[in-house]
Amino acid sequence: MLDYVVVGGGIGGVLSASLLSHVGRQVILFEAQSYLGGCAGTFQRKGFYYNAGASTLVGLEENMPLGRLMKFLGLEPPTKEIDPSMVVHIADRQIRRYKSWEDSLAEIESSFPQLKHRAFWERVKAVSQDLWSLSCDLLPYPSPSSPIKALLKHPLAFLNTILCHFVSSRRVARFYLGEFNSKYESFLNHHTLITAQGYMEEVPFSVASLGLTYPNLTNYYAVGGMGKVVESFASRIKHVRLKEKVLSIEPMPWGFLIKTTLGEYETKRVILNTTIWDAGNLVRELKPYSERAREKYRKMWGAFVIYMTLEDSGLEDLSHHHFILLDKPIPYTGSRSLFLSLSEREDPILSKDGTRSVTLSTHTHLHLWEGLSSEEYMERKQKALEYCMEELYRHIPSLRYVKKLALFAGTPKTFRRFTLRYRGSVGGLPAVMDYFPFNFPPPLTPVENLYIVGDTVFPGQGWPGVALGVINLLKFIEKDIGIC
């Protein structure tokens, strides 16, 4: 009998299976697709490779969650440091988000000279640094002893951050900066949107501080695509079953019976790398749990993503990531921003044979893509694509004249098909004040020995958040694994 079955090969599933396999547990990871990574994976289409979503990667330092896991596993994923982490385009301005705190602040001050930025950004920096120093000692979550442990070990950091969970980031910004114009508000809003899935007025200052400073962490380019980073962690898993979909999970007196498209398996414990909204689709006993989650946690986002392969000849030197903020919403999305990720010229997979791979993504409201006829769906898809491309050309004009060898788009319907996520949602559960931190779902479920990892359980999205969530789960179920 297996010790664990892990269902789903996204970041959370791969990290969980990797750690458990590394310490000698008998583990099988099942993934329905032919590749690992889910929304953070790399896929192939007509001979070209693309990252499924925005390909920012942070948190590989030893004091960060992902860095702790890398050290524990003895891994060095194929990455390369990049600086600046991104270029923000807003109106006629470009703001480079450098790793250097002073250089980054100088860029912001130059673009918005009428505001006294330093006090606000120093506060943002202090809170984010304290939260990262507290992160391991606040686990496991939820546990009444964890906050006490963190307070005793890091009293100043704990007291400096505790109230930040209960005040909106917009309120703090107003306190330090006074009145600021719509351009600056858009600049702040969209940083929290891409990192916490919410705007400044919704997101607590604690979470916003992490999102606003992530460009100042060491940022990395994933050589060969984000999927190669996932595969690096998966190399520690002895048994990975791709293209084998789990059909059902049945609790038994001795554990669980797993039924897949290719067979049946017995295991003591199960880890689902799925959303809280989808868990009941696999486990009948979790249907009430998922139904309550769908009722309680209604805020979620989808993505509209354009994938391109460009001919590299004549393409100017561009930064890896461009964050384009718009004045008007993109049709059929409700979003006012675009995030472009460009493969590096020397990348052996994404940029082979003189090409460059591009992922251009934006948030979208899910209901705008639901209940449509085929004709309506295709019409909306084409109009959104054309609008996004024109905005891209307006901000980076040289791209208009670069030959496109491939160009296609994905919607929430596409993500639902390939990731099996509820309504095609991406980005996880928003870390907004209605949910975070005390109403955020834990990794434990009502079914004993059955757990959930990923971006809809504490503490949420992104590589650092999901990695910390995996550590959190292991502190419940494998207390002897001393990662942090």
Over the stretch 245-268, which tens digit does the pLDDT of each residue have?
999 999 999 999 999 999 999 999
Residue 316 has pLDDT above 90, yes or no: no
User: How far apart are alpha carbons 452 and 471 in whole angstroms?
Assistant: 12
User: How far apart are alpha carbons 37 and 228 in whole angstroms?
Assistant: 9
When the pLDDT of each residue in the chain is averaged and rounded to a whole number, the result is 96
Once rounded to an integer, what is the mean pLDDT over residues 40-59?
93
Q: What percent of the chain has pLDDT over 70?
A: 100
Quote the tokens at residue 164: 């930040």
Identify the helix (H) or strand (E) that includes residue 69. Answer: helix 65-73
Decide: 257 and 72 in contact? Cβ < 8 Å: no
62: confidence class by pLDDT, cuts 50, 70, 90: confident
The residue type of 31 is E
Once rounded to an integer, what is the mean pLDDT over residues 65-87?
96
CA nearest neighbour of 319 among 98, 46, 170: 98
Residue 461 has pLDDT above 90, yes or no: no
Range of weakest confidence among 239-243, 368-372, 385-389, 478-482: 478-482
54: confidence class by pLDDT, cuts 50, 70, 90: confident
User: How far apart are alpha carbons 355 and 375 in whole angstroms?
Assistant: 33
Decide: 483 and 457 in contact? Cβ < 8 Å: no
User: How far apart are alpha carbons 171 and 209 in whole angstroms?
Assistant: 13
**Cα–Cα distance list, 427 to 131, 201, 455 (Å):** 21, 19, 7
Residue 480 has pLDDT above 90, yes or no: no
Quote the tokens at residue 183: 């351009």
Predicted local distance difference test score (pLDDT) of residue 451 = 98
Over the stretch 181-217, which tens digit does the pLDDT of each residue have?
999 999 999 999 999 999 999 999 999 999 999 999 9
Query: Looking at residue 326, what DSSP letter applies?
Result: -
The residue type of 230 is V
Same fold, 2-42+56-79+222-297+429-477 and 298-423: no
Residue 428 has pLDDT above 90, yes or no: yes
482: confidence class by pLDDT, cuts 50, 70, 90: confident
Query: What is the residue-wise DSSP string for 129-178?
Result: HHHHHHTTTT-SSS-THHHHHHHHHSHHHHHHHGGGGGSBHHHHHHHHH-
End-to-end Cα spacing for the chain: 29
User: How far apart are alpha carbons 32 and 6 in whole angstroms?
Assistant: 12
Residue 314 has pLDDT above 90, yes or no: no
Q: What percent of the chain has pLDDT over 90?
A: 93
Predicted local distance difference test score (pLDDT) of residue 83 = 97
324: confidence class by pLDDT, cuts 50, 70, 90: very high
Range of weakest confidence among 52-66, 98-112, 151-165, 317-331: 52-66
Q: Domain limits of the chain?
A: 2-42+56-79+222-297+429-477, 101-216, 298-423
Residue 479 has pLDDT above 90, yes or no: no
Residue 373 has pLDDT above 90, yes or no: yes
Q: Considering the domain 298-423, what is its CATH architecture? A: Alpha-Beta Complex (3.90)
User: How far apart are alpha carbons 481 and 474 in whole angstroms?
Assistant: 7
Quote the tokens at residue 310: 């460009």
Domain 2-42+56-79+222-297+429-477 fold is: FAD/NAD(P)-binding domain (3.50.50)
User: How far apart are alpha carbons 223 and 347 in whole angstroms?
Assistant: 6
The CB density around residue 371, as the number of other CB atoms within 10 Å, is: 8
- Residue 204, classed as helix, strand or coil, is strand
Residue 313 has pLDDT above 90, yes or no: no
Predicted local distance difference test score (pLDDT) of residue 484 = 80
